[in-house]
Structure 1
Amino acid sequence: MGVPATDLSTLSLPGWAVPTAPRRVAVAGQAIRIRREWWQRSIASRRLPGAPPSASTLTRADVWEPGEDVFALLWRTLAWGSGSHLRQNSARLNSIERDLPRAAELLTRAAAESRRDPARAYAVLRPDRHNLIPGLGPSFFTKFLYFAGGGAPGHPCLILDRVVASALREFGWGSLHRAGPWPVDSYERYCGLLARWASEHGCAPDEVEAAIFSGRVTRPASTRM
Structure 2
Amino acid sequence: MTDLTRLALPVWAVPAQPRRAAVDEHEIAINGPWWREVVKARRLPGVPPAGPTLTRAEVWAAASDDVFTLLWRTLAWGSGRYLRLNARRLNSIAADVPRARSLLTKAAEVSRRDPVGAYTLLRPGQYNEIRSLGPSFFTKFLYFAGGGAPDHPCLILDRVAATRLRDRCGWTSLHRTGPWPAETYGRYCDLLARLAQDHRCAPDEIERTLFAGEPEERS
- TM-score, reference length from structure 1: 0.94
Q: Residue 28 of structure 2: SS of its match in structure 1?
A: strand
Contact 2:100 2:130 (8 Å CA) reproduced: yes
Instruction: Give the unaligned 5+ runs of structure 2.
Output: none
Q: 1:82-161 counterparts in 2 under 5 A?
A: 82-161=79-158
The answer to whether structure 1 residue 55 and structure 2 residue 51 are counterparts is yes
Q: C-alpha distance in 1, partners of 2:11/2:48?
A: 39
Q: Residue 219 of structure 1: SS of its match in structure 2?
A: helix
Contact 2:159 2:177 (8 Å CA) reproduced: yes
Q: C-alpha distance in 2, partners of 1:68/1:112?
A: 13
Q: C-alpha distance in 2, partners of 1:111/1:72?
A: 13
Q: Residue 141 of structure 1: SS of its match in structure 2?
A: helix
Q: C-alpha distance in 2, partners of 1:105/1:196?
A: 32
State which of 18, 21, 25 in structure 1 corresponds to 2:17: 21
Query: Structure 1 residue runs of 4+, over 6 Å off?
Result: none
- CA drift of 1:220 comes to 4.1
Provide, for residues 113-145 of structure 1, a one-character-per-residue CA deviation record: whole Å limited to 9, x for no partner. Answer: 000000000000001110000000000000000
1:188 — aligned with what?
A: 186
Q: C-alpha distance in 2, partners of 1:79/1:219?
A: 27
1:37 — aligned with what?
A: 33
| Paired residue total | 216
Q: Residue 65 of structure 1: SS of its match in structure 2?
A: helix
Instruction: Give the unaligned 5+ runs of structure 1.
Output: none
Q: C-alpha distance in 2, partners of 1:163/1:33?
A: 18
Identical amino acids, percent of aligned pairs: 62
Q: Residue 93 of structure 2: SS of its match in structure 1?
A: helix
- CA drift of 1:100 comes to 0.7
Paired letter, 1:65: A
Q: C-alpha distance in 2, partners of 1:140/1:78?
A: 7
RMSD (CA atoms): 1.1
Q: Residue 213 of structure 2: SS of its match in structure 1?
A: helix
Q: C-alpha distance in 1, partners of 2:35/2:158?
A: 22
- CA drift of 1:157 comes to 0.2
Q: Residue 24 of structure 2: SS of its match in structure 1?
A: coil
